[in-house]
């Protein structure tokens, strides 16, 4: 396994896009969070304490955009090899296909965990600084954001876990489809288009049943710290549902990768 991870690291660190995508995850996530929180001010509320804002969730809003870098990175881990034919060389060097996949997955998880943690901490720091200056402070009933606070810690750790699950889901889809453009299209549709389609359902019963199912809706429920009863799905059940999607994608990818020609 060590050889597999080392080989994958050697390949990925020599590809310029790897560093750019990891940097993009951090930069875009923090930047979107900065722009979003900068537009919030208690002067826009009916009363200083009348916004009922979830400052933790608001500070992590950039994840919704930054995750695109995770999708692109995960797809490129296998998509580039299929696109260039390098996959044949990889399988010649390491014929044990499950070990090859495990090496790719472990390295991907490590990279996304590190970059995702930096993105989350940067977003929370920006939110703490900006929102406090915009009136969302203890004086108006909004405690300062702190990663040591229970709900905020859950949201922060859960968001990093969300990014890891999205990365593995993306890797599984890319391995199964074996086409970079096709895999990216499928994943962005699942993340962004599917929730919009659910919103067009007018039947209340079916809307209630389906609105909790899209991967991003389920997974990012973990960022909410207030009014959990208003969510389509609770934070940890949402993460569990996303984990189920990811496990199914990885299992299907493993079966197809080990049973068909490269």
Q: Among residues of the chain, what percentage have pLDDT more than 70?
A: 84
Phi-psi label, residue 52: left if phi above 0, alpha if psi -120 to 50, beta otherwise: left
Predicted confidence (pLDDT) at residue 81 exceeds the cutoff of 80: no
Token pair for 110: 């490590």
**Where exactly are the structural domains of the chain?**
2-259
216-261 confidence digits (pLDDT tens): 999 999 999 988 888 999 999 999 999 999 999 999 999 998 887 6
Q: In this structure, are residues 222 and 161 in contact, taking their beta carbons and an 8 Å threshold?
A: yes
124-136 confidence digits (pLDDT tens): 999 999 988 887 8
**For residue 219, how many C-alpha atoms fall within 13 Å in the half-sphere facing its CB?**
28
Between 11 and 38, where is the model more confident? 38
pLDDT of residue 248: 97
Alpha helices in the chain (DSSP H): 2-13, 16-38, 55-59, 63-84, 86-93, 97-133, 150-177, 180-188, 194-199, 204-210, 215-219, 235-259
DSSP 62: T
pLDDT of residue 111: 95
pLDDT of residue 198: 93
pLDDT of residue 136: 80
Q: Say how far apart CA 77 and CA 109 lie, in whole Å.
A: 12
Provide CB contacts within 8 A for 178, sequence distance 6+: 78, 79, 82
203-215 confidence digits (pLDDT tens): 989 988 899 999 9
Q: Give the residue from 161, 73, 169 showing the smallest Cα distance to 120.
A: 161
Q: Mean pLDDT, to the nearest integer, of 181-205? A: 94
What is the 3 state secondary structure string of 87-102?
HHHHHHHCCCHHHHHH
Q: Give residue 85's pLDDT band: very low, low, confident or very high (50, 70, 90).
A: low
Of the listed ranges 8-22, 151-165, 173-187, the least confidently predicted one is 8-22
Q: In this structure, are residues 28 and 121 in contact, taking their beta carbons and an 8 Å threshold?
A: no
Q: What is the mean pLDDT of the chain?
A: 87
> Judging by beta carbons within 10 Å of its beta carbon (0-12, 13-18, 19+), is residue 53 exposed, middle or buried?
middle
What is the 3 state secondary structure string of 180-205?
HHHHHHHHHHHHHHHHHHHHCCCCHH
Token pair for 235: 């934070």
């Amino acid at each position: 396994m060590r050889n597999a991870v080392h080989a994958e690291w050697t390949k990925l660190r020599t590809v310029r896009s790897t560093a750019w995508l990891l940097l993009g995850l951090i930069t875009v996530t923090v930047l979107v969070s900065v722009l979003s929180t900068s537009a919030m001010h208690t002067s826009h509320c009916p009363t200083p304490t009348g916004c009922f804002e979830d400052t933790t969730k608001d500070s992590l809003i950039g994840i919704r955009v930054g995750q695109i870098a995770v999708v692109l990175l995960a797809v490129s881990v296998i998509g580039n090899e299929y696109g260039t034919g390098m996959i044949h060389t990889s399988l010649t060097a390491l014929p044990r296909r499950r070990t090859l996949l495990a090496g790719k997955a472990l390295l991907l998880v490590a990279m996304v965990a590190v970059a995702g943690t930096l993105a989350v901490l940067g977003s929370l720091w920006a939110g703490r600084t900006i929102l406090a200056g915009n009136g969302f402070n203890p004086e108006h009933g909004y405690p300062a954001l702190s990663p040591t606070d229970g709900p905020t810690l859950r949201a922060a750790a859960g968001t990093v876990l969300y990014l890891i699950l999205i990365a593995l889901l993306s890797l599984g889809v890319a391995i199964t489809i074996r086409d970079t453009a096709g895999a990216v299209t499928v994943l962005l549709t699942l993340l962004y288009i599917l929730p919009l389609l659910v919103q067009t359902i007018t039947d209340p019963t079916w809307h209630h049943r389906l609105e909790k199912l899209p991967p991003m809706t389920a997974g990012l429920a973990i960022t909410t710290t207030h009014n959990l009863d208003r969510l389509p799905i609770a934070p940890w059940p949402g993460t569990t549902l996303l984990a189920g999607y990811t496990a199914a994608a990885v299992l299907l990818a493993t079966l197809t990768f080990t049973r068909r020609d490269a």
